[in-house]
Amino acid sequence: MAHLDLTGKSVFVTGGYGLLGSWLVRSLLDQGADVTVLRRDITSRSALVVSGDEARCSVVSGDLCEPGLVERALGEYECELVFHLAAQTIVPVANKSPLGTFETNVRGTWTLLEACRLQGVSGVVVAASDKAYGNSDTLPYTEDMALRPLYPYDASKAAADLITRSYFHTWGLPVAVTRFANLYGGGDLNRSRLVPEAISAALSGRSPVIRSDGSPERDYLHVDDAVEAYLAIAAAVVDGKAAGLAINAGHGEPVSVLKVVSTICEQIGSDLVPDVRGEGPPKGEIPRQWVDPSLIRELTGWQASISLEEGMARTIAWYRDHPGSLPVGPPPRSS
């Protein structure tokens, strides 16, 4: 698999306190990188904090969109490599109040890219999403398909995707954009997401509620697989093979919401079964989607290796060990 020597490399990560970022930062640190993370929220439940990894990083506090903040951080820490993961990622929040989502996901992305351009970093990986493709009768999504998003979160990710690639085509910034499938794993603090909410319910003896009819299908990628994919893409950006590209990652096969929640119920070992309450797919969400991961395999040799059963076992084990990080807040409005 494509490999980058990270020893002593100065790496900047936005979104390092989130689901993906926490595990990516751990891997970077374990491989000898000097990691600087951007922290907007005080999140004591984050996997980055509870693991003690935050203490191994340099921390820059502030909002991604704050003028000059990221540029100063990149300069001060002489960052060579940047992973941009920070985003407003919750679909119901985007549907209710889109401006905050556009602000972070679009303005935040151009603010970061401009800082990278001005500071001359040697590799950038920007998280877009498979949601950027929008509804498509043809599946799986391949990278040459048009982006046709319908909803605010999806549109924000498509905008970030296009803007990111313009920085390669216009200024030669060595950047790739990721269009990954649905991620899951320990340390997801977002209660409106299916997996942490269902685990939280089942661990406390409640039947996990499915707000749809359980039929929506997604491609579910465990966060450990996703971290390997990000590192492989970064290596391919730095050696020039992936610069300017948008790259999918996932298993390349769909799994229904009902199957995911049933797997959680079975693994938690209770007599609980999913409480299916909806009819059809939720409003404002794509009914079926999964990605073709051929390009990333060809470019880097990466392929997903963690099955749904194995990934869910790891995820449940993490939440059992960290009950204080189970999601809190209002129950989800869709799944």
Ligand X SMILES: NC(=O)c1ccc[n+]([C@@H]2O[C@H](COP(=O)([O-])OP(=O)(O)OC[C@H]3O[C@@H](n4cnc5c(N)ncnc54)[C@H](O)[C@@H]3O)[C@@H](O)[C@H]2O)c1
Q: Is 184 in the active site?
A: no
C-beta of 195 vs 272, nearer to ligand X: 195
| Footprint (CB under 6 A) of ligand X, residues 48-107 | 63-65, 85-89, 104
Q: Is 41 in the site for ligand X (CB under 6 A)?
A: yes
Rounded to the nearest 5 percent, the helix, strand and coil shares of the chain are: 40, 15, 40
Site map (CB under 6 A) of ligand X, residues 124-143, x = contact? ---x-x--------------
How many angstroms separate the CA atoms of 300 and 153, rounded? 29
Among 51, 111, 182, 263, binds ligand X (CB under 6 A): 182
Q: Is 24 in the site for ligand X (CB under 6 A)?
A: no
> Token pair of 263, please?
């797997």
Q: Which residues pair with 221 in a beta bridge?
A: 183
DSSP class of residue 133 equals G
Among 9, 74, 108, 311, binds ligand X (CB under 6 A): 108
Q: Is 233 in the site for ligand X (CB under 6 A)?
A: no
Say how many Å lie between the first and final Cα of the chain, rounded.
Answer: 34
Q: Is 214 in the site for ligand X (CB under 6 A)?
A: no
SS3 52: coil
- Beta strand residue intervals within 78-211, DSSP E: 81-84, 123-127, 175-180, 182-184, 209-210
How many angstroms separate the CA atoms of 192 and 95, rounded? 13
Name the minimum Å distance from CB 269 to ligand X: 26
Q: Which helix (H) or strand (E) segment is 203 a member of?
A: helix 194-203
C-beta of 272 vs 285, nearer to ligand X: 285
Q: Is 15 in the site for ligand X (CB under 6 A)?
A: yes
C-beta of 18 vs 149, nearer to ligand X: 18
Name the minimum Å distance from CB 236 to ligand X: 18
Q: Given the residues 17, 141, 151, 153, select the one marked as catalytic.
A: 153
> Which residues are known to be catalytic?
153
